[in-house]
Structure 1
Amino acid sequence: MDASSSLVQPLLGWGQEHGTSLAPDVEIYQDPITGLSFRALQNIPPRTKLVICSFQTTLSYLNTTYLSPYFQSHSPPFPPNFVNSLKVHDPNIIGHFFLVQQYLLGTKSFWWHYIRLLPQPDTPEALGLPVWWPEADLEFLNGTNAEPPIKKRKALWEAEWKQGISLLATDFEDREKYTYHLYQWAASIFGSRSFRASLTIPPELISGSQNSFKDSLFILEHIMKDRFSVLLPVMDIGNHNGINQVDWSRDSSTGHFSLSNRELIAQGNQIYNFYGDKSNSELLVAYGFILPGTKRDTVNLRLTPSSEVVQLRRSQTSHVVDFNQPEQEFMFSVRILNDAARHGSGIPQLDMFSPGLVNTMSCMLANNRERRFLLTNPAYSLEKDPEVFSNPMSRNIIFVLRILQDKLNYEISRIEQCGVDLRKPQTQNQHTALEYRNRQVQVLQTAIPPISTILQSAFSYSSFCQHARHSANQSEDSLVSLHSHVELLSLDCAFGWLYKHYPDVTSKVSQLISEDQDEPLPLDWAILVEDWDHTYWTVWIYLVWMLWIHSKIEFETRHVDLAKWVFAMNKSYDDALSSHADAANLHADSTEQETIDFMVQNIAEIPDLVTFPLHQDATERLRNFASFVASEEVLPASCQMMTGSQAGEILEQKLLCISKVGHATRVQEEGSWTTFLSSLTA
């Protein structure tokens, strides 16, 4: 169909009669790819009004409100009960039924010249929308971001139709013709061709109407919150290429909505509208196409925080909720960056992720100490902090990166698994879906390496470790801040550090572990970390504090960085005790408690420590403290074993996060825990 078509010319004639028109140098033509389109007949200078659409020709819910001369019904009214029941919360349903009515009116409809140019209900595949694709084509979208919203649309439209049809009186003319199929068609037309009411309708046309004040108020609210959309005949022919080179303007004095160009349009070029900064997922679901290049390729990442986490996240000033889309509060995305410019102020590895994702994950993974920090500092934003490794959230950001890496890998696996049985594409829909599917995987794969680089560095280096592979200098500039301020220790390395500085004590402790676990010496930590990592982290922390208490000045002089962490943990435990009564309890199950108690009792008999006996109550308090730190300050990691039967292999285990930021000397505190420690003398 071209501009001389017997259908296009009557549309333009009807539009002209009612104030809707094209600029003289704009034509409508049939493009082999985009279908009906606008094209420049001559060079068109900037700021030309390419299309002018009169509000008299628009079609929407407003035409059922008898609001003003601009929004007339030209049709038999719907029953009052139907309109009154839906107009408060579901004006969009009224708009969909109104379009069905106009279709059923045929040549009697005021909008007939417009409606007959639309894809027709008897050929819904002409819409090109995935919601109308056959199942064989939809299979190619399984597991992708496009699958859930397509299913949601189908379910939503069916529920809307049932709600609307139940309100139409049985004696309403042609009620039986308002089928679900026609409702789907009408909803598809609105979903793929309409404009947002908030950007289209001037509020003055509502507030200055003859309607009641109450009706005007809720209609204005509907417009502001985009609870319905508006069809703009002729204007909606413009296609989308993802480049915003147009301006929209609305004029209540003339009753027109216009489309203008920002730059010169050369003769013969297609003239594009701009649907918004939409991702390829949004374009595919709503319009049935995707654009080339990776700029618009995004993958959604939904989080499901607990109610407690939601409360914490909402306390942060960086959190923004779109009350028009509350279900999107914890929906985020990842994308490929197409330029070298920074897109955030935090560490660059986070630039690919949409705002709020990392901050929400931070709240979800925060321990007690980190939650207190976030509550005390509501303006703090983890994802915007370039020095995140040098503050109290250093453990948290590493934990976030680890879980984020796992989530990205899971999403890749899920998409690939859902497509394992796909055959070679046979239709254009299948080719489009397969390209979209592959690009979703590409986005996820691209996001992983920058995160992995940080994690691999964090897990593979420690100045505390005595193993050559862990103590080699890290020279990459971007990782200097990480290693200068925080380190992660495995049990293997932690006991190696103990052995270097306190060989006699460590030998005795290793012998105790060997006896308790019935394992030979030297200890094979690859076996022990599988089930006993929390137990022996508790033992290690208990032992470190015993060594510190036994000779504080010597310990603080020899182990400056570790002493900073000791002071920080003491302060943190004081804060925890003041806000959480259960912090004073033992954090271990019954099996772990039996082993922990065995170790604690026998550590007291080690010759180097026997000169400093603790009362039973003091022993239990120190034990409980160690178990609390062991549960709070570790994080799961895939770390290379340094010794034992699986030396060189990567094993999942818990690493202790040691921050080297803080005071190099003790600070006088007045909390119950630090007061207790001060009472202990060697």
Structure 2
Amino acid sequence: MSALEPQVVETFKAWLVENGAHIHPDVQFEPVPSGFNVIAGNNVPADTTVVAIPFSLAITPDVSKAALKALIRGADESHLLDSLSERQLVCTYVCLHQIAKDAASTSQAGVLRHGPYIDTLPSAEKLRTPLHFSSVELEAFRGSNLYGATLDRQRDWQAEWQQCRAVVSVANSSWGEAFTWDRYLTASTYLSSRAFPSTVLSESPSLVTTPSSYPVLLPGIDALNHARAHPVSWVVSGTKSATPLASSSSEPSISLVIHAATPRGSELFNNYGPKPNAELILGYGFSLPHNPDDTIVLKIGGPSASHGSAAGGATGGEVGAVLAAVRVQNDEEDEDADDEGEDGPSIEDELCAADMLAEMAQSLYDRLPPFPPANAAEMRPEVLQMLEHYLEGQRDILQSLIEFANAKEASALQKAREQGLDIVAEEDEEEE
């Protein structure tokens, strides 16, 4: 065992191997304030498989439900599990490892078999998602979309927790009492920050979620932190190993291959895919400076309009789609609006849509909280940094939307002049 690694990591690595997984000998766990970083104990060359686990070691809804059924032994009660979502099943399974870990008979029966993995996960006080912010820290985000998303998530997860606690109480009333909101929040945060979509456990592994996919936890593979655009692959092996460290058994396994060479002492990274800071903060508890994947949600009303549109920082097709959605809303609200002809929307429609988009973006921009906030001294440095990164991206996107809308308005006015139309810009009307 490396001098950097505590006993809990040694136990976890031994558990992985005992259950058919493989971990590269140069993979070392380094304790840090947030939990563990995974570093290279020696130079790790490019295209190295750092960890491989059999599918059976994943924590899936089916694995969780089977364990919970074994705990809720009464046939009349176990049907209650059918009311729980895939998320709730996994979170309840994780929670019960902490609640029931002293029950030797349960552990020996293999019902709750992921204890060595769960013991390596960060404790609640180390988590930094918005639901773990202090009241002062969360208040600093008021006025942003992220503030509202945090309140929505808290409401939804607390409703889930109440339902799960009721089911657990059927199995054991003392477990039900121990099934606290804090425990469920911690398990839910593990899922939001570490889970992969089930599509990764397929012949063609993918991080793309689908309507039928569900969250799964992959012990060992989920230990690596995120680096944007870092070259990695997930390789699924079947009866014959496709990678040096993949399982040699007939059971399918999934391997994480890092394609960039990593020098000794440097951190080994995974790649969670392109994610905006709003998602990174809400689900993971960290942010990236100058994140090119940042988005913003615009609430666009109207009976046939979508509930929202995500606009990137560039004024390209995505922003054009937002403008089109605004135009549709404007047409639906205005019964006298001209129908779009073969040559596209009328100049009046273009002007109205551009003006509406500019007003919407400016309103969101004006509502964003200031930085630094008045109570910055009462915030933890890592939370203050997340606020800075988040606001930086939101302001950049909204400014680009305003500039795009103004350019569209100027273009429409120029077309009107060329066609000899007498159209007065709204700001000219206000001056009169």
Encode CA deviations 1:12-46: one digit per residue, 9 max, x unaligned: 011111122222333222357x6522223444344
In the superposition, relative to structure 1, how do residues 431 and 265 fare at CA in structure 2: closer, same or farther (>3 Å)? closer
Encode CA deviations 1:259-314: one digit per residue, 9 max, x unaligned: 112343344432211112110110011111110124133222121222xx34xxxx
The structure whose RCO (Cα within 8 Å, separation 6+) is larger is 2
Q: 2:361 aligns with which of 388, 408, 420?
A: 408
Q: 2:98 aligns with which of 78, 83, 103?
A: 103
Indicate yes or no: 2:416 matched with 1:448. Answer: no
- What aligned pairs does 1:273-672 form with structure 2 within 5 A after superposition? 273-306=270-303, 309-310=304-305, 329-337=306-314, 350-351=315-316, 353-354=318-319, 356-366=321-331, 372-373=339-340, 391-416=344-369, 422-426=374-378, 427-428=380-381, 429-456=383-410, 458-459=412-413, 484=418, 487-490=421-424, 637-640=425-428, 650-651=431-432
Match of 2:231 in 1: 245
User: 1:165 is paired with a residue of what secondary structure?
Assistant: helix
- Quote the Cα distance in structure 2 between the aligned partners of 1:404 and 1:486: 26
Q: 1:272 aligns with which of 269, 272, 278?
A: 269
Is contact 1:83–1:94 with CA below 8 Å preserved after alignment?
no
In the superposition, relative to structure 1, how do residues 81 and 393 fare at CA in structure 2: closer, same or farther (>3 Å)? farther
- Quote the Cα distance in structure 1 between the aligned partners of 2:80 and 2:373: 47
In the superposition, relative to structure 1, how do residues 20 and 485 fare at CA in structure 2: closer, same or farther (>3 Å)? farther
Deviation at 1:432, TM superposition (A): 2.7
Encode CA deviations 1:44-84: one digit per residue, 9 max, x unaligned: 34432221122232223221444xxxxx7796346555653
Match of 1:24 in 2: 25
Q: What RMSD, in angstroms, separates the aligned Cα atoms of the two structures?
A: 3.3
- Quote the Cα distance in structure 2 between the aligned partners of 1:231 and 1:267: 28
- Quote the Cα distance in structure 2 between the aligned partners of 1:190 and 1:80: 29
Is contact 1:100–1:178 with CA below 8 Å preserved after alignment?
yes
- Opposite residue 28 of structure 1, the aligned amino acid is F
In the superposition, relative to structure 1, how do residues 101 and 638 fare at CA in structure 2: closer, same or farther (>3 Å)? same
- Opposite residue 236 of structure 2, the aligned amino acid is R
Q: 5+ unaligned residues in a row in structure 1: which ranges?
A: 67-71, 204-222, 311-328, 338-349, 378-389, 462-480, 491-636, 642-648, 652-682
Match of 1:182 in 2: 183
In the superposition, relative to structure 1, how do residues 421 and 285 fare at CA in structure 2: closer, same or farther (>3 Å)? closer
Encode CA deviations 1:191-248: one digit per residue, 9 max, x unaligned: 1111112223669xxxxxxxxxxxxxxxxxxx95356411111111111122241111
Match of 1:92 in 2: 87
- Quote the Cα distance in structure 1 between the aligned partners of 2:289 and 2:420: 43
User: 1:7 is paired with a residue of what secondary structure?
Assistant: helix
Is contact 2:60–2:90 with CA below 8 Å preserved after alignment?
yes
Is contact 1:91–1:227 with CA below 8 Å preserved after alignment?
no
Encode CA deviations 1:491-543: one digit per residue, 9 max, x unaligned: xxxxxxxxxxxxxxxxxxxxxxxxxxxxxxxxxxxxxxxxxxxxxxxxxxxxx
- Opposite residue 29 of structure 1, the aligned amino acid is E
Encode CA deviations 1:93-136: one digit per residue, 9 max, x unaligned: 1221111111222263422211222123xxx2311111111101
User: 2:269 is paired with a residue of what secondary structure?
Assistant: strand
Deviation at 1:11, TM superposition (A): 0.6
- Quote the Cα distance in structure 1 between the aligned partners of 2:41 and 2:147: 41
Deviation at 1:438, TM superposition (A): 4.2
In the superposition, relative to structure 1, how do residues 355 and 289 fare at CA in structure 2: closer, same or farther (>3 Å)? farther
Is contact 2:277–2:389 with CA below 8 Å preserved after alignment?
no
Match of 1:58 in 2: 58
- Quote the Cα distance in structure 2 between the aligned partners of 1:164 and 1:74: 13
Indicate yes or no: 2:219 matched with 1:233. Answer: yes
Is contact 1:2–1:30 with CA below 8 Å preserved after alignment?
no
Is contact 1:145–1:300 with CA below 8 Å preserved after alignment?
yes
Is contact 1:86–1:93 with CA below 8 Å preserved after alignment?
no
- Quote the Cα distance in structure 2 between the aligned partners of 1:35 and 1:89: 30
Is contact 1:82–1:164 with CA below 8 Å preserved after alignment?
no
- Opposite residue 22 of structure 2, the aligned amino acid is S
- Quote the Cα distance in structure 2 between the aligned partners of 1:408 and 1:184: 34
- Quote the Cα distance in structure 1 between the aligned partners of 2:368 and 2:401: 16
In the superposition, relative to structure 1, how do residues 41 and 119 fare at CA in structure 2: closer, same or farther (>3 Å)? closer
Indicate yes or no: 2:121 matched with 1:118. Answer: yes
User: 1:37 is paired with a residue of what secondary structure?
Assistant: strand
- Quote the Cα distance in structure 1 between the aligned partners of 2:231 and 2:373: 42
Q: 5+ unaligned residues in a row in structure 2: which ranges?
A: 240-250
- What aligned pairs does 1:197-212 form with structure 2 within 5 A after superposition? 197-200=198-201
- What aligned pairs does 1:213-228 form with structure 2 within 5 A after superposition? 225=211, 228=214
- Quote the Cα distance in structure 2 between the aligned partners of 1:397 and 1:261: 49
Encode CA deviations 1:407-462: one digit per residue, 9 max, x unaligned: 0110011114x889733343212343244234422331233224323424645x6x
In the superposition, relative to structure 1, how do residues 252 and 104 fare at CA in structure 2: closer, same or farther (>3 Å)? farther
Is contact 2:47–2:258 with CA below 8 Å preserved after alignment?
yes
Taking structure 2 as the reference length, the TM-score comes to: 0.81
User: 1:270 is paired with a residue of what secondary structure?
Assistant: coil
Is contact 1:140–1:437 with CA below 8 Å preserved after alignment?
no
User: 1:297 is paired with a residue of what secondary structure?
Assistant: coil
Match of 1:139 in 2: 139
In the superposition, relative to structure 1, how do residues 451 and 225 fare at CA in structure 2: closer, same or farther (>3 Å)? closer
Is contact 1:246–1:274 with CA below 8 Å preserved after alignment?
yes
- Quote the Cα distance in structure 1 between the aligned partners of 2:37 and 2:323: 42
Is contact 1:305–1:364 with CA below 8 Å preserved after alignment?
yes
Is contact 1:195–1:229 with CA below 8 Å preserved after alignment?
yes
Is contact 2:143–2:367 with CA below 8 Å preserved after alignment?
yes
Match of 1:210 in 2: none
In the superposition, relative to structure 1, how do residues 129 and 392 fare at CA in structure 2: closer, same or farther (>3 Å)? closer
In the superposition, relative to structure 1, how do residues 25 and 332 fare at CA in structure 2: closer, same or farther (>3 Å)? same
User: 1:87 is paired with a residue of what secondary structure?
Assistant: helix
In the superposition, relative to structure 1, how do residues 431 and 43 fare at CA in structure 2: closer, same or farther (>3 Å)? closer
- Quote the Cα distance in structure 1 between the aligned partners of 2:261 and 2:416: 51
Mean CA deviation greater in 274-283 or 439-448:
439-448
- Quote the Cα distance in structure 2 between the aligned partners of 1:278 and 1:79: 43
- Opposite residue 405 of structure 1, the aligned amino acid is A
Max radius of gyration: which structure?
Answer: 1
Report how many aligned residue pairs link the two structures.
403
In the superposition, relative to structure 1, how do residues 411 and 263 fare at CA in structure 2: closer, same or farther (>3 Å)? same
Match of 1:158 in 2: 158
- Quote the Cα distance in structure 2 between the aligned partners of 1:202 and 1:102: 31
